[in-house]
Every structure is written in C-alpha cells, then in structure tokens.
Amino acid sequence: MLDPEVEKYHQLMQTRREFLGKTTRGIGTMALASIMNSGEANAAAYVDDKWTGISNPTHFAPKAKRIIYLYMAGGPSHLETFDYKPELERLDGTVMPESMTKGQSIAQLQGQELKCMRPLLKFGKYGQSGQDITSVFPHMQTIADEMCIIKSMYTDQINHDPAHTFMNSGTAISGRPSMGSWLLYGLGNESENLPGFVVLTSKGGRNPQPLATRQWHSGFLPSKFQGVQFQSIGEPVHYVNNPPGVTGDRQRDIVNSVQALNTIRDEVVDDEEIASRISQYEMAFRMQTSVPDLVDIKNEPQHILDMYGTDGADGSFGFNCLLARRLAERGTRFIQLYHRGWDHHNDIVKYMNICAGHVDQGTAALVTDLKQRGMLDDTLIIWGGEFGRTPMVQGNKGGPGRDHHNKGFSLWMAGGGIKGGMSYGNTDDFGYNAVENRVSVHDFHATLLHQMGIDHKKLTHRFQGRDFRLTDISGNVVRDILA
Amino acid sequence: MSYTEVILGRVAGVVLISWCSLGLAAELPETIEFNRDIRPILSDNCFQCHGPDGETRGAGLRLDIREHAIASNNGQAAIVPGNADASNLLDRIFHKDPEEVMPPSDTERSLSDHEKALLQEWIEQGAEYQAHWAYIPPKKISLPTSAVNPIDYLVKKRLNEEGLNHSPEADRVTLIRRLSLDLLGLPPKPDEVAAFVNDTRTDAYEQLVNRLLASKHYGERMTIYWLDLVRYADTVGYHGDQVRGMSPYRDYVINAFNSNISFDQFTREQIAGDLLDNPTQEQKIATGYNRLNMVTREGGAQAKDYLVRYAADRVRTTSSVWLGSSMGCSECHDHKFDPFTMKDFYSFASFFADIKEDGVQTYGGNDGPFPPLIPFPNDDEAKKFDEIDSEIAKLKVIMDTDIPENSENKKALQKEKDDAKNKHRALSRKRIHLERDIVSVAVTETMEPRMMRILPRGNWLDETGEVVTPAIPAFLGTLEKKDDRLTRLDLADWLTHRNNPLTARVFVNRLWKLYFGTGISRVLDDVGSQGEWPQHPELLDYLAADFMDSDWDIKYIIKQIVMSQTYRQSSMPIESIKDTDPYNRLLARQSRFRLEAELVRDNALSVSGLLVTKVGGRSVKPYQPSGHYRELNFPVRTYQQDSGENLYRRGVYTHWQRTFLHPSLIAFDAPTREECTAERTISNSPQQALVLLNDPIYVEASRVFAERIITEGGDDIASRIHWAFQEAFSREPLERELAIVSDLYIHHFKEYRNDAKSAKALIEVGEKPVREGLRPVELAAWTSVARTLFNLHEMIYRY
C-alpha cells in the first residue's frame, strides 16, 4: 500500500522524462580552442574528457609504465646497507681529517669531535653479480641480480624535512610539484577507477620522523595531480565509504540523480564544466567500489601472503608492498610507499635490525612477484631514503649511531629498463663524499623521467613567469645504468 | 580534468599566439608596440642568456636594454634600428644551421614565423623600446565626458574594436546570487532575493551593493584571499608542524577589511605596526604578518641556516604580495627576466633583519609556544596562570633557601628542597602547555638588526659576500634617510607610495580576478617581464591610479567594479565567440567559476541552516577523517575535534595544519599556505565528489536541511521540492527536475521504510541532535534529496 504522499506523486510522474544514463559530452569546440591556445597543453592531453598528459605521446619510447618508490624515510645508513668501506674498519675510532669536514654543513654533530666508526654490520657478496649487501637483508640478498645499486648519490639538504622536499620535488622550497604529480601531469593515468598517484605509509621503527603532504603535493599544478594517501587501517581513502545507512544502490541513486539534474542544468546554462563534473562523479563512484576491491586480498593465495609476510590489512610495509603490486596491476602510475623510522642517531645496530626486519621481506617479495608476473620489465622499483649517514659516530645515548649525511649515500633501482646486478658510482674510502660517477637528485629524477619516456627538460609548467621543471636547471640521465 | 583548469591555470604568457589564433592579428599590427608585441618574445626566448643576469650572459650581449642591443661590436650589432637586414639578431633567428640558430635548439625554445616577422618589422620600424609597463607609474587616461563609467567605457571600446558589445544585464536573481557569493562568500536568503527582485527603486542595485559591503561577512570573504597571499596558517609547517598561535592576526585582517582601513595603513600595520608611535594592541597583532613564515624545531637543524631561509621567505612573500614580483629568483643569481639583482634581494631582506626570532625554536620542547607572542587568556586561564605563578614563587623560595651545614634536619630539608625542584619542573611544563593552549598571536618585536650579507649562490655557509643594509630594489629608486638605517616602516611607506608603480596595480588586478575570474593581466603573481601584457592596460592603470587617488579605499574600488555594466552582464556563453575568446578576456559577458574551498562548505552550511555566523575567534576543528594526522610527530598528535557551534563555523576559521591540511580543503584546491599563493589552481576531481557525497558535514547539513524541508516546505512533495530549490538555488525547479527529485524521494522513502535501521543511521550522522517529532523514514528520504541538491554543480558554482 502506498503512502498518500506517494499517490500524490503519481500525478507528477505523468510528465516524467528519462534522463538517467545520458552519456557525457566529449570535448567541446570551446575546450579544444582553449587548449590549443594555451601554448602549454595540447589537444592530445584530453581524450574523451580524460586527462592523458601533456607529454603524450612521450618524447621517446618508455621503458617503464609505472614506478613503485619504496621510500625509506629518516635516512638509512649507506654504510650499514650497500656501501662497504673496508678502510673505515681500519680507521675506526680515529678522528676524521678536518680537511674533509671543515666548512661543511653538519647536523646534530655540530661542534662535537668527529670520529670515524667502522661498519657495524657484516657485509657479504650476493647474487651472481656479487653485490655488497649486509646481513640484515636476507631477502634482498636473493634479488641482488635485479638491483642496480647507486653508491654515489648526494643531495643538497641535511635535515629531514627539507631533504624530503628536495628528494620529492627537486627543491627545498615548498610549493613545487612532487615527482608523482609531474608524472601524472605528463602522462595521465592509466586507471579508469583508481588514482594515478597513490601514497601508502607503514608502521614501525625508531621514533619516526614526521612526514608532510608536501611530499606528494601537486604544488602549483592543479590539485587533481596530488598523490592520494591510502590508509591500510580504517577507511582506505578519505571519504571513500558511503555514509551510514547508505547502501551502494542508494548511493548510486543519488549519483544518478545528480548526473541527471546536472545534465538538465547544462542544457539551460550551457556550461562545459558540467560535463567534466559528471565524469568526475562517475570516476568517484567507480572508486567507491574499486578501492574496497583493491584492498580486499581474500583472493590472494596463501603462498603469496607468505611471501610478503602479511596476513592482511595490518599497517605493515609487507602488506603495502602487496597493495603496491595490486595497484600496479590496475594501472596506477606512481606508487610511493613510505617507511619511517630510519633515523638512527643511536643504537644503529638495534634499529637497523628492526627497520630491515620491517621492509626486507616485502621489498624482495614485490620484486620477485612482479618478475613472476612479467611486470618487472615495465615497472621501475626504487628503494632509498632522503640522505645517508655520517661515517662519524654519534653517541649521545644508548649504543653508537650515525648523524645525517648528504654528501654521499646509496639507493637502488630494479626493473623498468634499469640494468640489474650492477652497482654504479662510489664514495671515498670514508664513505663521506660521493667521488666517482656522482649522481645528484636531479640526475636521479632525469633518469626516472627518461625511463617513463619523458625528456626532463621538456616536461615544464609555467608558474610566476618561469617554466619550472622537476629537475630545476640541471640533471643528466644516468645512461650507464640503462639496460 | 576540466578545460578551465588549463584556461585559468597559469598558461604560457605568450599572448601573441592566442591572439594570432583569434584570427584578429594573423597579420602584423600596423605599429609594433614593444611592450605588447616584442617584450614577451624577447623575455621568454632570449633574456635567459641575454638579459639582466650578468653571470650567465652569452657573448656579452644584452637585449633587455636598447643601448646594449644596438651597440656595435666589430662593426656588427644585434639590432640596427631601421635596418633588419644588417641586424645580427635577424640573421641568427632565421639561421638554417641548427648550430647557429637562436634561440639554441637545446633550450627547448623556438620562435614561430609570426614572432620572427614581428621582430623583423619592429626593427624596420626603428626598434623602439618601452619601459616595462608595470614599472611606469600608472596614470588615468583622460576619458570623454560621455564615459559614464570608466570600466565600461574602456571595456566597451575594446569590444567595439572587435565588433562586439556587452551582453545584456543578468536577471536580478543571478545578480544577487553573484554579488552575495562574490562579496560575502555566502548565498542570499530567499527573502533577500525576493526583496531585491521586487525592489522598484531606481538605485535598487546600488542599495544592495552597499548593504553587502557593509556586512560583517564581507571581511571574512576578503580575508580568505588575503590569508592565501600572506600564507596564514595555524601551524609552523616544517618538520613537526607544531601549532603556533595566530588566530588574532586573522581576526585583525577580518576587522581591517570590515572597517575598511585604507590599504596603505593596512600595509603599514602588518609590516611595521610595532614601529608606529604608541602602537595599539591591534597594530601589534597586525605584525603577526612578519611571523607567518614556516619555522622549524627539527633537531640537527642549524639556526644560521634557518635564519637565512626565513629571511628569503620574507622577501619572496613580501615582494609577491605587494609588488607582484618574483624577487625570490634573485636569492642565488640576478633575476633572469627582470632587473632585480642579488644585492636587491639581500638588501630587501635586511629590512626584516631586526625581527626577534630564533633560527631553531627550542622554547618549551616539542610542544611549546613560539615567542615573542601576545597571550589572550580567558578568565579561567588567567586564573590558572596566577595559581601556577604563585605556586612557582613559593617553590622558588624553598629552592633558594640554603640548608645550614649543622642542621639536624639536613636530610629532611634536602628532601623538601628536592621535592620543590621536581614540583617546579612539573609546574613549568604545565605553564608552557597552558601558554601553548591559550589563544595567542606571534608578533614582531624589534632587536639589534642581524648582519646581512649577499650569499653567493644562496649558500648560507659562504661568508665572502658583501654586507648589505636595507634598500629597495635599485631600479625602482632609492630611499634615503640621513645617518640612519632604513626600517620596516620606511619599506611599508614606500610600498604604498605614489611613486611605487607596482603595489596599486597588483592589488586591483587581484581584486579584478575575484570578480571576473581572471585578472586584467592574467599572471597575478608576476607582473614582470614574464607576466602578461594586460588585456586592458588603460583600465588597469585607471583603476590603480583611482585606487591611490581614493587614498587606498578598498571598498570604494570594489564598488566601482561591481557597479559596472561589465560586471552586471549575463554570463551566458556567446556562441559566435566561443572559439575566438574562449577565456572571456574581452569581457563580452561575465565569467563563471567554482567557489573556493572554504565557500563550498559555507554555502552548504548556510543553505542547510547549520551555519554559525559568529565572526572571529580561535581556529576551529570540524569533523576530520581519523588517522589524518598519523604521520605527524614531535609531538605525536591525535585530532581533537571540536563540538557544538565550532563544528559549524565558516571555512575561514578552520584550523590550518600546513603539512596535513583538512582533506576536504585540499580536495577543493585550498593551498597549504607554505608559500604565498596569489592564485589557487582549479581542479575538478573525483575527490571533490567524494567529499560532497560522504564527508559527514555534508551528510549532516543535508539532514538538517531535510528537517527544514519537512517543517518549512509545505505539505506535499512538490511544494517541498520547490521550497528546497528556492533555498538552495534561489529558483524554481523545472518540471523535469521536479520529476527526478520526487522520483528519488519516493524511491528512498520506500527503501528506508523497509530498512528503519539504515534510516536511523543516516539521520544520526553528525552531532546536531535530530529535530524531534519527525518520522525517521521521511527524514532519511528527504536527506537523500538534500544530499542530491548539495552535490549539484550549481551548488558550488557562481554564474
């Protein structure tokens, strides 16, 4: 039996027309004209109202389609991971030559006596390539032949906050786009229903250094190029869950009504922006189902879960590695996993063991898993932090540790057209200065963009009268490490 | 992504290309004008190597100054006025050899045929230079007596040249919505709309403008724009991103706009309020401006390093806010496009070298306040301070009492002393936390100025550079003060001095953007060489001069703008010029744009009836997804959401956490305010849809609106929908719209009737208690309707 209200409504229904399901308009003439005129974006940047990137087609054939950046925040010690310095064993306890440290920026050791400290973890040779890796990474040892270890990184910044900003955006000044934003701007997103730039963070480690959304912000690029943070605990993406009492069908009813009403309004006010809004609502609605599907790992076989060392949404790095693979499979362009807790000013042995224990298995599993699925070839994996640590000991509390160090440090890459089983560049005998085949952060960025098919000098955006780029005014592709 | 993102985003400033494709200037203009036609080409393509920066200048050639460009070198000159064939520049730009052609092929720059032709013709015509438009003091063009309104006259003149005219005036409903949203950031109430529509007075429109400009909400709307510029936030931004009291500064800005203090005074109070004679409390609060930069407490950060960063930040911000110039480029080298030198940069920084601050703040540990500050404890808090202070005083007496060597109670006395010391430590912590938690504002106190050097390549470790003292950029003149160092007050006075060509232009250009969506010169943060030659240069100059003539009267200039016929036009697209003027730069109609992040929220709260219209007060913390602060540390934080009326304040009051801004603000393009933002980017993203669909504040606002739909909207579905449309959009629904909405209502009524639990869950979202006496099923179904309306494009757009 109907309510009186419902019966009354039936009279209205006589004139009802069907507007639901009306397709959105494609690119309009005005829009096309405006893009052509902008001198910046080209018409190809849009296909069917979807942003497909200003560097599309790419400047040359891409080797990688996506990047997974395992970001070790806090600054892991290169001297206890990949950069073995036998000479430092001998120099243990001696005073650092003043000639090396004079006039250099120094963080917490400022004003203290600077003494060398030997590598505190045991190195071995792994893989057919015989890469130097320490004992805390038993799983990574198994992927040594996939890794290209760059031992000659250096950066401008010596404190966490600006060093992160520099590593992600190529400058320590806030307000510039992060590398993931640049990539989305340049290439667009492959996925129809997930964000193209996703950030995941995991738990654990020494009292962790804070992060900031600046690290995945779009800066002066439109905010839609920002990284979207996924939470492994609770609602996976902010506002992705329906409100209480609203089922998926009811939400669809709302979205349908919104779409229909917007379509009518467009007919009245002739507003091209409405077509775009309609397509964004479709994407949002798709995200509401695809995100839960992404994080639902019940169909992953047990041996895969075991390989990553996770049982499910536990906030662990291993779980995030699994999510990263699932995102990669679904077309997400840039996936960044942060693991904080690498800031080992003291008790470096203890904390290296803890941190390595958090990330080692997941990292190796990700590389292995991608390889098994034939995806490593076009997925570029990066593992590294914002800087390295001093050859000098820091011992303010507990066991010995190391201070922040920006003149030389290591990171590694795998897949995505990078040569595996090699190391590149070197620091000096102290592990202090990168001296051979030095790689700056801008060189590193230029190389990443190159693998994605982008000439780093051509991916620019005008802001405050200047054409900005991720690599600022420098950067050379490190060609020696390209497969 | 939307097209207007690209349009309204910062698009390459090569005006010529766009006009060329307008089909208006495919052939060369009869008279080549340097500023309009040539400077953009030279600046964009040549100045990088042949401009003001001497360090990297190629072949010793400088093209930004005529004498250099025409100077003969071994019988050759880059430019031979009147003789294109003899000009080396022409030879090089037309060169076939990729090794020889200019600009070099590896610079990613190239000249179009049209640009080359312009250069050729310009040289033939004598290669006359003009001073850069923005560096010449603005003057009012003399207008014919028939010109009723200078804005309309100048816009129309240009339109007529293109064979166009103004659009008809928008209807009154559109006008009051546009004005309310533009001036207050809030929609008009239905009775206000009705009153205006039925107002038969000849000056009805002007009356409305006057009423809105007098509203207390006008200041709130203007403040959003100002806070972006001065990068206002409630937290410090670096590393631990701790809270730093600033909200009284925000309220100062609101009050300043509402009371319409002149812009020169507004400038003076913020930059140098502390240096005025007998500064008032308000003027001291205004100097919070100098403390809005990001600061750090990061361990291992070097004070000297950070003091340099803060100094540079102040130059970037102050030059951006007042001069619309990117002086920040000159931190490491002379500016590539404009005549700012490194010496200018560090001299400008010297104005602020007397500001008392620590390079690395350590006071009170990770969660201490950031002195110097002015505290504003309420009565309870003041009482607590008194209690703590008197307790501390007592403890101090015990701590300071010596124990006699031969005392029998030596052990007991020592224990008493130790206890006192422990208590003292605990109370000191407590006091610091209290200092941090009360409303306070970081302000400027002056001290002996720090020595300031030019830092080669901006390197703070390099102490070889020349020592500098406060000075304005040399090419803009010199300020002298006999036997005395220039102060921030001198700087403020110069910024708003009649001879300063930039400040008034920059300010009115940004005001224009607020009311037309685009500036008269589009690049709001750079009016230099790389900026845009204004679409209506005479108009920009007229308004700038008029602004100064009015003694910097902000409301006066806004009223000039919104009273114009140009402003009052319909925003309906004009089919015939859709292709040729896609950005509406000619202003043959009004523009349309999305509301800013804060206003998206304000609008929904206002329509629902939830909005609390109180002005000012401490920053508030609305609903926020849990875990958003998970990555913060030093100290670890959990979000302490407010309750009661603080949940329903305007967006301008939302707590601004720089490193983790509220996600709904981020989604709608609010900047983090780490740096000066003159123009927000505009996105159209799925995140925006998710916010409007699922953020509890919009669900709650929908339910509260639904309560009003039921209780105030009449007795049947149709009348309720009519009522809701009037409240939300100031208009009647179309029959078709009515059908869709009633269909949804009926459907969800049935849905929730069979699922009472869900109905209850939906209507209980948010803290506001559900109004009594309403049927949950009906309320839930109307909540669905309200959610739909709140998600419509029309709800977040200004037409």
Query: What are the pLDDT digits (tens) for B747-768?
Result: 999 999 999 999 999 999 999 9
Do residue A224 and residue B685 have CB atoms under 8 angstroms apart?
yes
B442–chain A nearest CA distance, Å: 22
Task: Confirm if B353 and B449 have CB atoms less than 8 A apart.
Answer: yes
Do residue A108 and residue B300 have CB atoms under 8 angstroms apart?
yes
Q: Does residue A12 lie in a domain region?
A: no
Q: Both A244 and A229 in a single domain? A: no
Q: Both A84 and A101 in a single domain? A: yes
> Is residue B17 over pLDDT 70?
no
Report the pLDDT value the prediction gives residue A46, as an integer from 0 to 100. 59
A58–chain B nearest CA distance, Å: 15
Tell me the C-alpha to C-alpha distance, in Å, between residue B579 and each of A275, B79, B423, B517, B604: 18, 37, 75, 19, 34
Contacts of A307 (CB under 8 A, 6+ apart): A361, A365, A368, A369
Provide mean pLDDT across the span B427-434.
91
Report the pLDDT value the prediction gives residue A49, as an integer from 0 to 100. 62
> How big is the CA angle at B470 (ends B287 and A162), to the nearest 5 degrees?
65
Task: Confirm if B425 and B418 have CB atoms less than 8 A apart.
Answer: no
CA of residue B645 relative to chain centroid, distance? 27
Do residue B739 and residue A288 have CB atoms under 8 angstroms apart?
no
Indicate the pLDDT class of residue A350, thresholds 50, 70 and 90.
very high
Report the pLDDT value the prediction gives residue A11, as an integer from 0 to 100. 37
Q: What is the 3-state secondary structure (H, E, C) of A2-41?
A: CCHHHHHHHHHHCCCCCCCCCCCCCCCHHHHHHHHHCCCC
Cα-Cα end-to-end distance for chain A: 72
A426–chain B nearest CA distance, Å: 26
**Whether B767 contacts chain A with CB within 8 A:** no
- Global pTM value: 0.91
A10-14, B51-55, B464-468: least confident range: A10-14
Write out chain B residues lying below 8 Å of A258, CB-based: 788, 791-792
This complex has an ipTM of 0.91
Report the pLDDT value the prediction gives residue B6, as an integer from 0 to 100. 35
Final residue belonging to a domain, choices A256, A273, A297: A297
Q: Does residue A321 lie in a domain region?
A: yes
Report the pLDDT value the prediction gives residue A397, as an integer from 0 to 100. 83
Write out chain A residues lying below 8 Å of B739, CB-based: 12-13, 15-17
User: For residue B771, what is the DSSP state?
Assistant: P
Q: Both A226 and A245 in a single domain? A: no
Do residue B744 and residue A15 have CB atoms under 8 angstroms apart?
no
Mean pLDDT of chain B: 93
Write out chain A residues lying below 8 Å of B295, CB-based: none
Provide mean pLDDT across the span B190-215.
98
Indicate the pLDDT class of residue B109, thresholds 50, 70 and 90.
confident
Indicate the pLDDT class of residue B26, thresholds 50, 70 and 90.
low
> Is residue A15 over pLDDT 70?
no
**Whether B451 contacts chain A with CB within 8 A:** no
Provide mean pLDDT across the span B80-100.
91
Q: Both A260 and A219 in a single domain? A: no
Letter for the amino acid at A184? Answer: L
- Which one of B7, B8, B10, B228 would you mutate to disrupt binding with A, by most A Cβ within 10 Å of its Cβ? B10
How many whole angstroms separate alpha carbon B467 and alpha carbon A444?
37
How many whole angstroms separate alpha carbon B78 and alpha carbon B87?
5
* Count of CA atoms in the C-beta half-sphere (13 A) of B37: 25
How many whole angstroms separate alpha carbon B692 and alpha carbon B647?
16
Q: Both A229 and A292 in a single domain? A: no
> Residue B590 is encoded by which pair of tokens?
């009004």
A163–chain B nearest CA distance, Å: 11
**Whether B183 contacts chain A with CB within 8 A:** no
Indicate the pLDDT class of residue A45, thresholds 50, 70 and 90.
low
Indicate the pLDDT class of residue B55, thresholds 50, 70 and 90.
confident
Of A5, A243, A271, the CB nearest to B694: A243
CATH of the domain at A137: 3.40.720.10
Q: What are the start-end ranges of the E strands in B443-533? A: 452-453, 467-468
> Is residue B4 over pLDDT 50?
no
Report the pLDDT value the prediction gives residue A48, as an integer from 0 to 100. 56
Report the pLDDT value the prediction gives residue A20, as an integer from 0 to 100. 28
Indicate the pLDDT class of residue A39, thresholds 50, 70 and 90.
very low
pLDDT, tens digit, 9 for 90 and up, residues A123-175: 999 999 999 999 999 999 999 999 999 999 999 999 999 999 999 999 999 99
Chain pair A-B, CB pairs under 8 angstroms: 353
Report the pLDDT value the prediction gives residue A1, as an integer from 0 to 100. 36
Q: Does residue A461 lie in a domain region?
A: yes
Q: Both A95 and A215 in a single domain? A: yes
Report the pLDDT value the prediction gives residue B436, as an integer from 0 to 100. 85
> Is residue A18 over pLDDT 60?
no
A193–chain B nearest CA distance, Å: 10
> Is residue B480 over pLDDT 60?
yes
- Structurally, chain A folds into a number of domains equal to 2
How many whole angstroms separate alpha carbon B751 and alpha carbon A250?
8
Report the pLDDT value the prediction gives residue B148, as an integer from 0 to 100. 86
Report the pLDDT value the prediction gives residue B589, as an integer from 0 to 100. 98
Report the pLDDT value the prediction gives residue A456, as an integer from 0 to 100. 97
> Is residue A282 over pLDDT 50?
yes
Write out chain A residues lying below 8 Å of B578, CB-based: 29-30, 33
Provide mean pLDDT across the span A328-342.
96
Q: Both A292 and A318 in a single domain? A: no
Q: Both A166 and A196 in a single domain? A: yes
CB burial of A307-327 (b: ≥16 within 10 Å; e: otherwise) equals bbbbeebebbbbbbbbbbbbb
Report the pLDDT value the prediction gives residue B406, as an integer from 0 to 100. 80
**Whether B797 contacts chain A with CB within 8 A:** yes
> Residue B428 is encoded by which pair of tokens?
């000191």
Cis peptide bond N-terminal to B137, omega within 30: no
How many whole angstroms separate alpha carbon A338 and alpha carbon A209?
11
> Is residue A467 over pLDDT 80?
yes
CA of residue B221 relative to chain centroid, distance? 11
How many whole angstroms separate alpha carbon A41 and alpha carbon A43?
7
Give the helix/strand (H/E) hosting A153.
strand A147-154
Q: Does residue A364 lie in a domain region?
A: yes
Indicate the pLDDT class of residue B124, thresholds 50, 70 and 90.
very high
Of B582, B631, B780, the CB nearest to A37: B582
Provide mean pLDDT across the span A206-235.
90
Closest Cα partner for A116 from A84, A97, A94?
A: A94
Q: Both A132 and A190 in a single domain? A: yes
Q: Both A142 and A212 in a single domain? A: yes
Provide mean pLDDT across the span B37-44.
92
Q: Does residue A13 lie in a domain region?
A: no
Q: Both A168 and A253 in a single domain? A: no
**B contact residues 221-280, partner A, Cβ 8 Å cutoff:** 237-241
Of A110, A240, A243, the CB nearest to B765: A243
Of B630, B681, B699, the CB nearest to A221: B681
Q: Does residue A81 lie in a domain region?
A: yes
Do residue A36 and residue B21 have CB atoms under 8 angstroms apart?
yes
> Is residue A30 over pLDDT 90?
no
Report the pLDDT value the prediction gives residue B377, as an integer from 0 to 100. 94
> Is residue B25 over pLDDT 80?
no
Indicate the pLDDT class of residue B690, thresholds 50, 70 and 90.
very high
Mean pLDDT of chain A: 89
Provide mean pLDDT across the span B682-698.
95
**Whether B763 contacts chain A with CB within 8 A:** yes
Letter for the amino acid at A352? Answer: M
Q: Does residue A26 lie in a domain region?
A: no
Contacts of B22 (CB under 8 A, 6+ apart): B580, B581
Q: Both A338 and A464 in a single domain? A: yes
**Residues of the domain holding A252:** 240-297
More confident residue, B277 or B403: B277
Report the pLDDT value the prediction gives residue A22, as an integer from 0 to 100. 31
Report the pLDDT value the prediction gives residue A332, as an integer from 0 to 100. 97
> Is residue A362 over pLDDT 80?
yes
Q: Does residue A323 lie in a domain region?
A: yes
User: For residue A81, what is the DSSP state?
Assistant: T
> Is residue A8 over pLDDT 60?
no
Report the pLDDT value the prediction gives residue B636, as an integer from 0 to 100. 93
How many whole angstroms separate alpha carbon A342 and alpha carbon B700?
42
A278: nearest CA partner in chain B = B793
pLDDT, tens digit, 9 for 90 and up, residues B223-280: 999 999 999 999 999 999 999 999 999 999 999 999 999 999 999 999 999 999 999 9
Report the pLDDT value the prediction gives residue B682, as an integer from 0 to 100. 86
**Whether B751 contacts chain A with CB within 8 A:** yes
pLDDT, tens digit, 9 for 90 and up, residues B335-370: 999 999 999 999 999 999 999 999 999 888 888 899
> Is residue B159 over pLDDT 60?
yes
Do residue B572 and residue A269 have CB atoms under 8 angstroms apart?
yes
A102: nearest CA partner in chain B = B461
Indicate the pLDDT class of residue B108, thresholds 50, 70 and 90.
confident
Write out chain A residues lying below 8 Å of B9, CB-based: 222
Provide mean pLDDT across the span A373-392.
98
Provide mean pLDDT across the span B1-20.
34
Closest Cα partner for A199 from A296, A290, A70?
A: A70
Give the helix/strand (H/E) hosting A151.
strand A147-154
